[in-house]
């Protein structure tokens, strides 16, 4: 199961090469996964209030074709693997049928007060099970 959202590229996301600056794709990944979480019934904002944070421990992006100003992009996201303390979300950036970029981030679960790694709350585990394309053994 994957989730898709759309995004219009603003001027500020481009650089002098005339295309979207490479660091912005990590922001796109964040927008994609946040909306996927919301869609799956999990608000990241509420989860933080409940005492958990999900910092990124790893990020990777492969750039295939350039996104341009005013493009209407689609961010397609899914959970590719998860354990009790972390999970991986893949995101693809597409313009219609074209794949522009593809990558993933690994998110760990930490306690908001101690910043220590902690077991994911049930809500996150449920979200992972729901949005996973391939389940980790």
Chain centre distance of CA 54: 11
Task: Pick from 1, 50, 51, 57 the residue near its own copies by CB under 8 A.
Answer: 57
Regarding 98 and contact with its own copies (CB under 8 A), the answer is no
Task: Pick from 1, 6, 51, 55 the residue near its own copies by CB under 8 A.
Answer: 55
CA-closest candidate to residue 87, choices 134, 42, 47: 134
Q: How many whole angstroms separate alpha carbon 47 and alpha carbon 109?
A: 11
Q: How many whole angstroms separate alpha carbon 113 and alpha carbon 88?
A: 23
Backbone angles phi, psi at 24, to 5 degrees: -65, -20
Tokens describing residue 119: 């077991």
Q: How many other CB atoms sit within 10 Å of the CB of residue 20?
A: 25
Site string for its own copies, 107-136 (x = CB under 8 A): ------------------------------
Choose the binding region for its own copies from 21-29, 75-83, 90-98, 117-125 (rule: CB under 8 A). Answer: 21-29
CB of 55 to its own copies, least distance (A): 7
Position of tokens 């397609």? 76
Which lies closer to its own copies via its Cβ, residue 2 or residue 63?
63
Task: Pick from 1, 45, 50, 133 the residue near its own copies by CB under 8 A.
Answer: 45
Q: How many whole angstroms separate alpha carbon 133 and alpha carbon 110?
A: 24
CB of 18 to its own copies, least distance (A): 5
> Contact positions toward its own copies, by CB under 8 A?
8, 10-12, 14-19, 21-24, 26-27, 30-31, 34-35, 43-45, 53, 55-63, 66, 69-70, 105
């Amino acid at each position: 199961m994957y989730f898709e959202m759309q995004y219009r590229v603003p001027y500020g996301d481009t650089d002098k090469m005339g295309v979207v600056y490479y660091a912005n794709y990590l922001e796109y990944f964040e927008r994609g996964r946040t909306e996927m979480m919301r869609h799956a019934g999990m608000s990241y904002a509420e989860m933080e209030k409940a005492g958990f944070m999900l910092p990124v421990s790893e990020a990777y992006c492969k750039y295939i074709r350039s996104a341009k100003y005013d493009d209407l992009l689609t961010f397609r996201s899914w959970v590719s693997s998860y354990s009790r303390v972390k999970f991986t979300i893949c995101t693809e950036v597409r313009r219609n049928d074209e794949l522009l970029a593809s990558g993933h981030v690994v998110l760990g679960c930490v306690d908001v007060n101690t910043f220590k790694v902690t077991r994911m709350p049930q809500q996150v585990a449920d979200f992972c099970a729901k949005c996973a394309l391939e389940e980790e053994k």
